Amino acid sequence: MQRIGVFVCHCGSNIAATVDVKAVAEAAKHESGVVFSADYQYMCSESGQDLIKDMIKEHKLTGIVVCSCSPRMHENTFCKAAAAGGLNPYMVEIANIREQCSWIHKDMPSATAKAIVLVRSAIAKVTLNAPLTAGTSPVTKRALVIGGGIAGIQTALDIADAGFEVDIVEKEPTIGGKMAQIDKTFPTLDCAACILTPKMVEAAQNDKIRIFSYSEVSAVKGFVGNFTVTIKRKARYVKEDLCTGCGLCTEKCPQKKVPNEFNLGLDNRRAIYIPFAQAIPKIATIDPDYCTMLKSGKCGVCSKVCSAGAIDYQAKDEFIDVNYGAIVAATGFNPIKVDKYDEFAYAQSPDVVTSLEYERLMNAAGPTGGTLLRPSDRTHPHTIVFVQCVGSRESEDSTKCGKSYCSKICCMYTAKHAMLTREKYPDTDVYVFYIDVRTPGKSFDEFYRRAVEQYGVHYIKGMVGKVTPEGGKLKVQASDLIAGKQLHIDADMVVLAAAIEPDKTARPLATLLTASMDTNDFFTEAHPKLRPVESPTAGVFLSGACQGPKDIPETVAQAGAAASKVIGLLAKDHLVCNPCVANANEMLCSGCSQCEKVCPYGAITYSYKEFRMPDRTTKLRLVASVNAAVCQGCGACTVTCPSGAMDLKGFSNKQIMAEVDAICK
């Protein structure tokens, strides 16, 4: 039998003015199990807390009810006071007689009557409370960053800086990501490679960082603090430890007709290649789809020219298991495919390019060596039309591949492109067709205004309706909504600001991580305002554009934020778990697995266990078990379970039913 103490707070006049606190304390005395009941001026005061501590000792209380303000205010205070008095902190219940009683009811008899019901309900609940102890689980002090773009690199560097080991898994042969393909960055116009490559080198040289390039995550097990990740190291056919990155093989390889993905197919590379000069790791990779040796067994040139003997045609995919305490998703973005927009003639004319392709055409390391030339005839374009919002901001039921969201970065990089074009080639006419120009960022609007005012870029409010390749030109038909005219421009090039979307690998990765995604395949954050870099799945963090469209400064900021969250986690030796978690009664569980399906955290697993039957035989049965370190205590499983095998500590079926009974009495 519990020995319950009830403490009724006056809260000055906040409660006492409308609730007869003495009557409430007196009524509580008559409830079964109550051995002490009193009212007090301010329960949250030092002396109020002392009263709790003293009465626990004096009356050997096993549970207490504090009738006061909302538990959201002072539950913690009273739990701590109870703990100081030698009581388990989970043996405390709060009856909210201020926010949910005295403050909303004007008339004393009815407010007092309600307060008594609320107290009864709390007494009924605390009678069924059980002491709970928060469990702990150890933390593996190593983090995994999935994706080696600027987001992943920055996160890894920051984590490593704090002294923790961190691995980067990158699916491409080199880290660097999208930023490596970009020429200049807005709004400062510094060279992307100049600021990115030092970071890549830093990551490569940091002894806390391991880079698994040309690798993918193929399985994730475990939970926060204790993940086991299987990394698939794709066969590179080049021994990483032997290759010196001299690049001789990439020059001698006879297979020259491989579209170069780094330059978005604007030129070709060999079947054995190093993506770009500053690649990290600088190791050659054989493309098995094109290598004649791998396909037909005839060639072997690279092997012959390699003095280091690094070529290994027999290589196989390798799988390694590594333990991590935290995982950061930094899978980034890609521009959408724009082939479906027939009106822009992207598929019809090579001179219609996406912005990222334009970026490569402007880049000194790009296919044209930095000279802006039309892809079709390698001549200098004189009229360039930029089209904004291609595939962004489309209605949800759009039949094309458009996105309903604003891609955020296009306004700025288009301004950058227009500006750089005008700067390098003042003889070109540059038109930008926009719906809205969105420049909320530090020095962003000034940058856009510079493009218009200083560089004379023609910004036209309106959309391009049609692009027709005709006689070596691109006939652009567009509307100028402000002039109320339809424009016809003979352009040499058209640049489409294609919407961006999450990388295709993000969705399967989210499934592996049991992290949730929105309908656009962006990772969902744990809270859109207050926990923007955490996924709802404990131990999984988000960095960069995989969470939503972002520019570089934002990505770097978020990468640092994610890193700090990871550091905060890894700095702990043990994680203290919320003890109010679900637990499965194995005697009742019938293994139907319904609960597993509703758990948003993947906290429920199934295993066969041996049970002794009443007739003394044994039986193997499938039963659920809850990982207390992962469970967040929502209770979805408890209702899904038809046999009541699943219950929630602190909010058990019996406790809630006792509250219902007390209220309806």
- Residues within window 6-65 making contact with another protein, judged by CB under 8 A: 30, 32
- Give the type of residue at 633: G
User: Taking CB under 8 A as the criterion, which residues in 337-356 touch another protein?
Assistant: 343
Give the containing element (helix H, strand E) for 217: strand 215-223
Q: Does residue 398 touch another protein according to CB under 8 A?
A: yes
The count of other CB atoms within 10 Å of the CB of residue 390 is 26
Q: Does residue 654 touch another protein according to CB under 8 A?
A: yes
The count of other CB atoms within 10 Å of the CB of residue 565 is 21
Interacting span for another protein (CB under 8 A) from 196-204, 279-287, 553-561, 652-660: 652-660
Q: Does residue 663 touch another protein according to CB under 8 A?
A: yes
For another protein, give the closer residue by CB, 365 or 406.
406
Burial class (CB in 10 A: 0-12, 13-18, 19+), 523: buried
Q: How far is the CB of 107 from another protein (least distance, A)?
A: 8
List strand residue ranges (DSSP E) for 264-365, in order: 268-269, 272-273, 285-286, 318-324, 326-329, 333-335, 352-354
Size of the site for another protein (CB under 8 A): 95
For another protein, give the closer residue by CB, 218 or 477.
477
Among 247, 350, 536, 579, binds another protein (CB under 8 A): 536
Residue 354 CA to its chain's centroid (Å): 27
For another protein, give the closer residue by CB, 400 or 504.
400
User: Taking CB under 8 A as the criterion, which residues in 440-469 touch another protein?
Assistant: 461-466
User: Taking CB under 8 A as the criterion, which residues in 465-494 touch another protein?
Assistant: 465-466, 477-479, 481, 484, 486
Q: Does residue 665 touch another protein according to CB under 8 A?
A: yes
Q: Does residue 590 touch another protein according to CB under 8 A?
A: yes
Whether residue 212 contacts residue 618, with contact meaning beta carbons closer than 8 Å, is answered with no
Q: How far is the CB of 19 from another protein (least distance, A)?
A: 11
Alpha-carbon distance 526 to 36, whole Å? 43
User: Taking CB under 8 A as the criterion, which residues in 108-147 touch another protein?
Assistant: 109-114, 116-118, 121
User: Taking CB under 8 A as the criterion, which residues in 292-331 touch another protein?
Assistant: none
User: Taking CB under 8 A as the criterion, which residues in 65-104 touch another protein?
Assistant: 70-72, 96, 98-101, 103-104
Q: Does residue 529 touch another protein according to CB under 8 A?
A: no
Among 277, 320, 347, 657, binds another protein (CB under 8 A): 657
Q: Does residue 365 touch another protein according to CB under 8 A?
A: no
The count of other CB atoms within 10 Å of the CB of residue 91 is 22
Nearest one of 164, 274, 150 to 210, comparing CA atoms: 164
Alpha-carbon distance 278 to 176, whole Å? 9
The 3-state DSSP class for residue 34 equals strand
For another protein, give the closer residue by CB, 89 or 148.
89
Whether residue 532 contacts residue 561, with contact meaning beta carbons closer than 8 Å, is answered with yes
Q: How far is the CB of 545 from another protein (least distance, A)?
A: 21
Alpha-carbon distance 307 to 245, whole Å? 11
The count of other CB atoms within 10 Å of the CB of residue 307 is 9
For another protein, give the closer residue by CB, 571 or 588.
588
DSSP strand pairing (136-138 vs 574-576) = antiparallel
Among 3, 22, 80, 105, binds another protein (CB under 8 A): 105
Q: What are the residues facing 319 on neighbouring strands?
A: 232
User: Taking CB under 8 A as the criterion, which residues in 401-440 touch another protein?
Assistant: 402, 433, 435
Q: Does residue 4 touch another protein according to CB under 8 A?
A: no
Alpha-carbon distance 253 to 301, whole Å? 6
Interacting span for another protein (CB under 8 A) from 327-335, 360-368, 418-426, 634-642: 634-642
Q: Does residue 394 touch another protein according to CB under 8 A?
A: yes
Contacts of residue 113, defined as CB under 8 A and 6 or more positions apart, other chains included, come to: none
Tokens 């469209």 appear where?
A: 549
| Helical pair 46-58 and 71-84, crossing angle rounded to 10 deg | 50
Q: How far is the CB of 27 from another protein (least distance, A)?
A: 9
